[in-house]
Amino acid sequence: MIKLVRVDHRLLHGQVAVSWFNNLGVNTILVANDAVATDDFRKSTIRLAKPENAKLVMQSIETSIKSINSGITDKYKMLIVVESVNDAKKLIDGTNGKISSLNLGGTKPREGTVSYSKTINLTPEEADMLTSLQEKNVDVYIQQVPNENRQEFHK
């Protein structure tokens, strides 16, 4: 069961590993990212942030979609972390309605981005992607940590 899908450019770090993992009562963290899936050094650094009692899986977006659609992940209480809005859209679109909400946790400022909160900076294209997800009834919201008030995403 997917408990949370989160966009965070830092992927797995203390805030996600501790706050969200404990709050959600999950037992598995899926880092869905094409670059990490093939980078042993990044995998090693991400493993350092893993809670002791967590199962950690690092897969490409496509492999993650196949795993979710196959039902193999249904037995886990899962937190999924992706690095970008683009990756989140691919994952959500590819999983045929199995993901109904998207947490925006952190996207760094880049050229051409607009600030939506202290931690969310989006290009116009990313904002359009999120709006298209909302049009498909995906709940898109900004919330850095569980005890912070959530802010609905509005373009």
**pLDDT > 70: percent of the chain:** 100
pLDDT at 16 over 80: no
pLDDT of residue 155: 80
Q: pLDDT per residue over 103-115, tens digit each?
A: 999 999 999 999 9
Name the more confident of 9 and 18: 9
Residue 8 has pLDDT above 90, yes or no: yes
Please give, one letter per residue, the 3-state secondary structure of the chain. Answer: CEEEEEEECCCCCHHHHHHHHHHHCCCEEEEECHHHHCCHHHHHHHHHCCCCCCEEEEECHHHHHHHHHHCCCCCCCEEEEECCHHHHHHHHHHCCCCCCEEEEEEECCCCCCEECCCCEEECHHHHHHHHHHHHCCCEEEECCCCCCCCEECCC
Structural domains of the chain, ranges and CATH numbers in brackets? 2-147 (3.40.35.10)
Residue 89 has pLDDT above 90, yes or no: yes
Indicate the average pLDDT of the chain: 95
> Residue 74: which pLDDT band, with cuts at 50, 70 and 90?
very high
